[in-house]
Amino acid sequence: MKRKFLTNLILLVFLNLLIKPFWIFGIDRTVQNMVGDESYGLYFALFNFSMILNILLDVGITNYNNCNIAKHNFLLPKHLANIVGLKFILAFVYAIFSLTAAFIIGYNKIQFHLLFFLILNQFMISLTLYLRSNISALHLFRTDSLLSVLDRSVMIIICSLLLFTDIINGNFNIRWFVYAQTIAYFITVLITFTIVLHKSGRIKLQIHKKFILVFLRKSYPYALLILLMSLYNRIDSVMLERMLPEPTGKEQAGIYAQAFRLLDAVAMFGALVGGLLLPIFARMIKQNDPVNQMVKLSFSLLIVPAIIISVASVLYNSEIMTLLYKSNTGQSSELLGILMIGFIGIASTYIFGTLLTANGSMKQLNIMASCAVLLNIALNLILIPEYQAYGSAYASMATQLLAGASQLFIAMYIFKLKPGIKYIVKIITFVVMVIITGILSKNTGNWLGGLVIFGAVSLLTAFILKLINVKNLFEIVLSKQN
């Protein structure tokens, strides 16, 4: 399992490093610089609004299906035939609830227009993720890795034509950005469905009431967890845009989006690790294989870059944001440092939360997530009126760190994980050395050179401390056993 995890992680990270940074910094950032913080802030708030309720599209189906098919491959044709039909029913329910909620909180005609397409996009994203869960559950990780970058690849092509040519006579606005995403998601759904259909054989789409009720009863704890996590991850910008008067709310949401974009970018790679680990953990638990070494390996591979990125974002926040954006960089740079500290908690969640999900420890996870939601909303309500975007950033940081720490301790208790004093000392030593290295690197004169030196020395420190053991990694990759 270690070899399968490492080799496919390398491919997954390589493909996503090839595509997604260009999307985030070449396309998404360019769009915000072109349309302005207020216009992009409106889109960003609406996008996060559509994300919060998208659990109605999935109701835990994807995660439950991933674990279940990983344990019982033969169920794929039966589940696929019923669940695809169910997804369309859920799409209708999601659209009704989303549009009703949008009406209640007072969105106008322009906002409704954008929200309609964002709702459609969320449905296609959800359907694609469900289809991909079957592919990863079958341990076809290379195929899933290619599909993970397909939508962004198509978006880059479409948006590049819109942004960098005269195809629309320079009349680019935020609506074109949303339309481009819609086309890309539609193409991705078609290709992914074709691949899954090939693996499952011919199916007849059907909706059996008994199957759906049983399936939903088993998957609803996963749905509740996703809803709660979406709330404490995404509600910040919605509360910013709604709680503050116009145009301050939209502008603050746009400034928050500048910093959040980078957090979202690095968290995306954590999500890739979590997505790869879920079927692996599920199969290991099914076969009663010990998970300790896999947990330690995956945690080390994720926590080391998380610590380096967090410290770099605090020390070099102003330089990074000035390089990327044209307006309000003074405020967004401070937000970046605050938000990125929370990435350490997010990294922990993608390891230990995934392990607990694979184990079916949903009661513990849902209690943890409920507390995180209450904390996040309470902090936002208290902090936003006085501190605006800063308030949301501090609320996010506190929530992510506490959520990550909670899942770590729950996993340690359930699985009797014992990291050992030696490993803990190594982590603490690494954190201290990274901070010292970062402070010293600021005095090099050239910030970009200092950042490169900081990253290189920090990685070298991880190798010296053997948090990442290069020799062992090569042995695992080159071994013939999975």
The terminus-to-terminus CA distance of the chain in angstroms comes to 5
CB atoms under 10 Å from CB of 198, counted, come to: 9
Nearest by Cα to 369 from 403, 404, 405: 403
Count of alpha carbons within 13 angstroms of residue 87, beta-carbon side: 24
Q: How confident is the model at residue 166 (pLDDT cuts 50, 70, 90)?
A: confident
Sign of the alpha-carbon torsion through 204, 93, 218, 409: positive
pLDDT at res. 456: 94
Q: How confident is the model at residue 132 (pLDDT cuts 50, 70, 90)?
A: confident
Phi, psi of 33 (to 5 degrees): -65, -35
Q: Is 208 helix (H, G, I), strand (E, B) or coil?
A: coil
| pLDDT exceeds 70 at position 3 | no
pLDDT at res. 140: 76
pLDDT at res. 393: 92
Summarize pLDDT for 16-75 with one digit per residue, the tens.
777 878 888 788 888 888 888 788 888 888 888 887 777 778 777 777 766 767 777 766
The whole-angstrom separation of Cα 459 and Cα 443 is 19
pLDDT at res. 4: 64
pLDDT at res. 200: 75
Q: Are 331 and 387 in contact (CB under 8 A)?
A: no
| pLDDT exceeds 60 at position 481 | no
CB atoms under 10 Å from CB of 244, counted, come to: 18
Phi, psi of 53 (to 5 degrees): -90, 0
Least confident piece of the model among 93-97, 217-221, 465-469: 217-221
pLDDT at res. 373: 93
Q: How confident is the model at residue 178 (pLDDT cuts 50, 70, 90)?
A: very high
Q: How confident is the model at residue 261 (pLDDT cuts 50, 70, 90)?
A: confident
HEC sequence for 91-160:
HHHHHHHHHHHHHHCCCCHHHHHHHHHHHHHHHHHHHHHHHHHHHHHCCCHHHHHHHHCHHHHHHHHHHH
Q: Higher confidence at residue 332 or residue 343?
A: 343
| pLDDT exceeds 70 at position 477 | no
In total, the chain counts a number of residues equal to 482
The domain locations on the chain are 2-419
Residue 150 Rama label (left phi>0; alpha psi -120 to 50; beta): alpha
The whole-angstrom separation of Cα 176 and Cα 197 is 32
pTM of the model: 0.73
Helices 109-137 and 76-104, axial angle in degrees (round to 10): 160
Q: Are 209 and 85 in contact (CB under 8 A)?
A: no
Q: Percentage of the chain surpassing pLDDT 90?
A: 33
Count of alpha carbons within 13 angstroms of residue 181, beta-carbon side: 22
Q: Higher confidence at residue 76 or residue 165?
A: 165
pLDDT at res. 379: 94
Q: Are 306 and 343 in contact (CB under 8 A)?
A: yes
The whole-angstrom separation of Cα 366 and Cα 229 is 9
| pLDDT exceeds 90 at position 109 | no
Structure tokens at 15: 């493909």
Strand (E) or helix (H) holding 77: helix 76-104
Summarize pLDDT for 418-445 with one digit per residue, the tens.
888 999 999 999 999 999 999 999 887 7
Q: What is the DSSP string of 160-178?
A: HHHHHSSTTTT---HHHHH
The whole-angstrom separation of Cα 477 and Cα 9 is 11
Q: Percentage of the chain surpassing pLDDT 70?
A: 92
pLDDT at res. 472: 66
Q: Are 122 and 50 in contact (CB under 8 A)?
A: yes
Mean pLDDT over each residue of the chain, to the nearest integer = 85
pLDDT at res. 146: 85
| pLDDT exceeds 60 at position 218 | yes
> For 27, which DSSP code?
I
Q: Higher confidence at residue 342 or residue 472?
A: 342
